[in-house]
């Protein structure tokens, strides 16, 4: 009859492990033991499904007899108990599972994923802040290319244009009509003049060159973090690619020139 041979431990009894057998799933056996008033739950460290589990358990107990504390409890390591079970089982193993190793592997994977996600979040925040700072800086530079006149000046110019047109095209217009047409028409003409002046500025070589410079800088800001070396004698701008930052877990970097340590996410 096939059944399980298992290794169980409990944090309340460090250094002690239980080697037993059961036809039940060892996890059920661990829960049964945990319900007996133990301050900590019992943990399945290893399990093996095999024919004649009682025989394998007995042989494993004999192999571990020098470490026996009481009945199925032994003062030895999990690795020693597992090795004794495997030697006793020979080649008749149906299935075995290293529960501790599986848990440790899963925990390591989960920890690595959490660290990677946290690091990615830090990098994304740094990139967003860097992009915003660049955007604001270039917005200010682009704005400086415009002639920043208040609209009333364009409006006044429009009034003059409309008034001259009315004077030459409709000399019989009433004073009231002349006034309102000049004021309202001047607003429309002023808006047109402002639009023409703005478009001329936007199409100027200097403005277009600055736009290209901005686009290049923003593209770079989305792909890499730029950090000023903290060494006052160096002050080199160091470029850290996002892929590189994600690949290096400890985040230890040095300035390529002066070799001073740099943390691109903290500086």
Q: What is the DSSP letter of 67?
A: G
Domain C-terminal end among 40, 63, 97: 97
Looking at the structure, tell me whether residues 33 and 130 fall in a common domain: no
In a domain, 105, yes or no: no
| Tokens, residue 10 | 């409990």
6 plus 45 within the same structural domain = yes
Cα 156 to Cα 92, 164, 200: the distances in Å are 101, 12, 20
**Residue 45 is inside which H or E element, if any?**
strand 43-51
Judgement on whether residues 177 and 141 belong to the same structural domain of the protein = yes
Q: Does residue 66 surpass a pLDDT of 90?
A: yes
Q: What are phi and psi of 8, to 5 degrees?
A: -125, 145
Residue 71, SS3 per DSSP: coil
End position of a domain, from candidates 65, 97, 129: 97
Q: What sections of 24-174 are H helices per DSSP?
A: 26-34, 53-63, 78-89, 99-143, 151-169
- Residue 153 inside a domain? The answer is yes
In a domain, 11, yes or no: yes
74 lies in the same domain as 157: no
Average of per-residue pLDDT across 263-267: 74
In a domain, 104, yes or no: no
Most confident of 10-24, 27-41, 106-120: 10-24
pLDDT band at 251 (very low <50, low <70, confident <90, very high): low
Asked whether residue 72 is assigned to any structural domain, the reply reads yes
Instruction: Give the best-scoring range by mean pLDDT among 30-44, 64-78, 118-132.
Output: 64-78
Of 11, 41, 15, 12, nearest to 28 by C-alpha is 41
Residues 154 and 189 in one domain: yes
43 within a domain of the structure (yes/no): yes
Q: How many CB atoms lie within 10 A of CB 116?
A: 13
Q: Residue 141 sits in which domain range? A: 120-262
Place of tokens 């300035």: 255
**Residue 267 predicted with pLDDT over 70:** no
Q: H or E element: which one contains 2? A: strand 2-9
Return the pLDDT at 249.
63
If asked whether residues 70 and 131 sit together in one domain, one would say no
How do the residues of the chain divide into helix, strand and coil, expressed in percent and rounded to 5? 55, 20, 25
pLDDT at 95 over 80: no
pLDDT band at 207 (very low <50, low <70, confident <90, very high): confident
Q: Which of 60-74, 152-166, 209-223 has the highest mean pLDDT?
A: 60-74
Distances (CA, A) of 207 to 36, 142, 217, 236: 80, 7, 15, 28
Could you tell me if 89 and 218 lie in one domain? no
Same domain, 68 and 153: no
| Same domain, yes or no: 131 and 245 | yes
Task: Give residue 54's pLDDT.
Answer: 92
Residues 253 and 209 in one domain: yes
Inside any domain, residue 70? yes
Least trusted range by pLDDT, from 32-46, 105-119, 172-186, 195-209: 105-119
For residue 225, name the pLDDT band (cuts at 50, 70, 90): confident
Same domain, 139 and 175: yes
First to last CA, the chain: 66
Percent of the chain with pLDDT over 90: 17
**Length of the chain measured in residues:** 267
> Quick one: average pLDDT of 165-169?
81
Cα–Cα distance list, 213 to 9, 141, 147, 217 (Å): 65, 11, 21, 6
Last residue in a domain, options 41, 64, 97:
97
Q: Tell me what pLDDT residue 59 has.
A: 93
Nearest Cα neighbor of 27 from 13, 47, 11, 12 is 47
Q: What pLDDT shows up at residue 112?
A: 74
Q: Residue 215: count other Cβ atoms within 10 Å of its Cβ.
A: 11
DSSP class of residue 75 equals S
Residue 109 in any domain: the answer is no
Residue 236 DSSP class: P
19 with 89, same domain: the answer is: yes
What's the number of domains the chain is made of? 2
């Amino acid at each position: 009859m096939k059944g399980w041979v298992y290794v169980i431990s409990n944090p309340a009894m460090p250094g002690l492990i239980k080697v037993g057998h059961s036809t039940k799933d060892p996890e059920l056996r661990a829960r049964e033991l945990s319900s007996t008033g133990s301050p900590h739950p019992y943990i399945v460290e290893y399990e093996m499904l095999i024919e004649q589990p009682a025989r394998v358990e007995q042989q494993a107990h004999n192999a571990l007899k020098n470490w026996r504390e009481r009945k199925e409890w032994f003062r030895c390591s999990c690795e020693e108990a597992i090795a004794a079970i495997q030697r006793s089982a020979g080649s008749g193993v149906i299935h075995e599972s290293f529960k501790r190793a599986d848990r440790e592997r899963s925990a390591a994977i989960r920890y690595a994923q959490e660290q990677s996600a946290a690091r990615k979040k830090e990098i994304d925040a740094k990139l967003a802040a860097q992009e915003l700072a660049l955007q604001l800086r270039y917005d200010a530079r682009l704005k400086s290319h415009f002639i920043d006149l208040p609209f009333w000046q364009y409006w006044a110019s429009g009034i003059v244009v409309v008034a001259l047109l009315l004077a030459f095209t409709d000399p019989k217009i009433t004073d009231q009509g002349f006034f309102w047409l000049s004021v309202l028409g001047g607003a429309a003409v002023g808006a047109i003049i402002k639009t023409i002046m703005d478009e001329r500025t936007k199409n100027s070589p200097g403005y277009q060159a600055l736009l290209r410079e901005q686009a290049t800088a923003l593209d770079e800001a989305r792909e890499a973090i730029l950090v000023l070396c903290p060494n006052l004698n160096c002050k080199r701008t160091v470029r850290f690619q996002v892929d590189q930052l994600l690949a290096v877990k400890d985040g230890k970097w040095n300035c390529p020139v002066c070799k001073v340590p740099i943390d691109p996410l903290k500086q």
